[in-house]
Amino acid sequence: MNRNIINKMTLVLVISFAGLLVFTPFLGTWEENESNLESSFITNTKVPNNVPSVDYISMRDLNRDVIPPDNSLVDPFVDPTNVSIDPSSQTVGPGDSFTVDIYVEPGEPIMGVAFWLSFDPSLIHADSVTEGDLFDPYNTIFNPGSIDNVAGVISNVWGIIWESGSNPTVSDPGVFCTISFTAQSSTGTSVLGLDNVQATNATGEYTTINVYNGSVTIQGNVPPVFSNENPSDGAMGVPISTSSLSVTIEDPEGDSFDWTIETSPNVGSSSGSGEGNGTKTCTISGLAYSTTYTWYVNATDTGGSGQTTSESYTFTTESVQNDPPAFSNENPPEGAIDVPITTSSLSVYISDPEGDSFDWSIETSPDVGSSGGSGEGNGTKSCSVSGLSYGTTYTWFVNASDLGGSGQTTSEVYTFTTESGVNDPPVFSNENPSDGAIDVLVSTSSLSVYISDPEGDSFDWTIETSPNIGSNSGTDESNDTKICSISSLNYGTTYTWYVNATDTGGSGQTTEEIYTFTTEEDTIPPDVKIHKPVRGLYINNKKIRPFILRIALIIGDITIEVNATDEGSGIDRVEFYIGLLGTESLGNDNTEPYTFNWTRYRLRFCHMHMLTVKAYDNIGNMATKRIFVRKIL
């Protein structure tokens, strides 16, 4: 047949004379072969004359993990296709069901796969072979092969893509098929050996194959196992302060077990009965230096196999060499200067490298205190001191004897120098209101100043004011803001406040300071209102009835009444005016209530007036109110 007219290259299966099922390229048109393949796929096949026979590797040759294909049938210039057992190994129990996948990673696009598989029938039996997802989403023809649980062989498993089109293939890895097994009663390991493995590409040619075999282990009930021993086996330099041994004991099937831990030389033992998986501990004591100890662990699988696991471990304790205590974190630090004379204690951290107990002492020169302890452990050791003098260098001596270990004594000498004899008096800052402040609100309710002593000494303090608007004081107080409450401030007034602080806890000196501030000016006029007369008819100082008109009609005498207030400096006086323009003075009143008795005016029978009142505050601010009145008699 002329290759130039080939429309399709289709993968079919051919039964060789040796009875082995293999893939081989079939050359021919789709139309020519479709009916034959659908009606009798196995029997109606054509084998090209140019396809050589395949020399298969023996199914029993299971010592080779990778089975190379026949190089005469493959293209050496493409990546190999990997065919493997997944998982590559697993452990199951007698009677367990389990599965393995035949996993394919195409090195080039493929359209078909075939293989045989061998196993140990005394250990496992195959149950079924099911197609995987390798060729999804195409239609396929899949042959699950033949299972022989006597010979331990699954033969002639194959599958191909069976669709019209331009030779559909897959390139992504996937599961070609899944094989189900059942473990038998015997224990051991069965190799899962792939043989006769083939894959074909879009043109029906064989691809290069790498084959990876697998295995499965059938394991019966086993005794407990040990791990994580502590100290680890053969450990050296183990501290003699070690107080326990431990080991993790686990039964693979989770069975309960009995266990014991014993030691030689005897430093302790422990045991348990009917327990489960976990860490088992043995308390020990009295370890000696430079000694090798052996400890024996036994565990009997009482809830399962009945077998006993035994193990021995050794460790060697630290040598007789034992380091003396060490010092750190001395306070004050070595050579410190300007140490406050108020310092009340010295301290140093004493630690023994082996954790041995020790005796210690702290002494001072000149003598300002001493302390000590016996049979103590690692920690900060303190010595109370008092009576330190200015400008003095002190030496303190620290000793620690390793009575619980080496017996050696560590000694150290530290020095510090106190602050100089100059002691400064308190200082002031952050006064409020600030010195010389103006326009201070008359509603201000307090004065404040920060008083601090440079040496942190206690002090007495006072705050006084002139004119007197408040005062305050304190005794034996410390650095902080001091406050004085004030009240009744007047407008436009300059106040002086005096601050004193005496360094009673230090130099004895007194610091004095004077501050001033001026309050705001009163620019708000008084609030004034004519209470009488208002619109209406008045006869002889009595209101008879109200008027609709915006005037007051007065017959006879009347007492003019005015309400006047001022929230600032207060009311100084109220002035009363009449006349047509309200400019003729009647008089004034400087006491509350503000009134004026208006009698007959120039013998006139009836006259129109602009009754005007003016209220003045003590600063001179003025407010005016007016009302038209007609005065008869």
Gap between the Cα atoms of 593 and 612, Å rounded: 17
Q: What topology does CATH give the domain 527-632?
A: Immunoglobulin-like (2.60.40)
Give residue-wise pLDDT tens across range 291-321: 999 999 999 999 888 889 999 999 999 887 7
Q: Class assignment of domain 3-218?
A: mainly beta
Stretch 224-253: mean pLDDT: 94
Give me the pLDDT at residue 604, please: 53
Specify the length of the chain in residues.
Answer: 633
Residue 445 has pLDDT above 50, yes or no: yes
CATH for 427-519 is: 2.60.40.2550
Contact 147, 129 (CB under 8 A): yes
Mean pLDDT throughout 148-159? Answer: 97
Model pLDDT, residue 605: 56
With 90 as the cut, is the pLDDT of residue 322 above it? no
Whole-number pLDDT of residue 549: 67
**555-593 pLDDT tens trace:** 999 999 999 999 888 899 999 999 888 899 999 999 999
Q: What is the mean pLDDT of residues 215-233?
A: 92
**Model confidence band, residue 607 (pLDDT cutoffs 50, 70, 90):** confident
The CATH number for 326-418, chosen from 2.30.110.10, 3.40.309.10, 2.60.40.3780, 3.40.50.1980, is 2.60.40.3780
In a 3-state reduction of DSSP, which class is residue 71? helix
Confidence label for 31 from pLDDT (cuts 50, 70 and 90): very low
Q: pLDDT band for position 72 (50/70/90)?
A: very low
Tracing tokens 């598989």 back to the chain, one arrives at 117
Query: pTM of this prediction?
Result: 0.36
Q: Looking at the predicted structure, is the pLDDT value of residue 501 above 50?
A: yes
The answer on pLDDT for 511 being more than 90 is yes
Any bridge partners for residue 501, and if so which?
461, 511
Domain coordinates in residue numbering, the chain: 3-218, 225-317, 326-418, 427-519, 527-632
Cβ proximity of 325 and 351 under 8 Å: yes
What phi, psi does 3 have (nearest 5°)? -65, -25
Distance between CA 360 and CA 380 in Å, rounded? 11
pLDDT value, residue 338: 87
> Predicted confidence band at 193 (pLDDT cuts at 50, 70, 90)?
very high
pLDDT digits (tens, 9 = 90+) for 343-367: 999 999 999 988 889 999 999 999 9
For all residues of the chain together, what is the average pLDDT? 85
Q: What are 386's two structure tokens?
A: 């008092």
Q: What average pLDDT does this structure show over 461-473?
A: 97
Question: Is 225-317 a CATH 2.60.40.3780 domain?
Answer: yes
Say how far apart CA 82 and CA 189 lie, in whole Å.
24
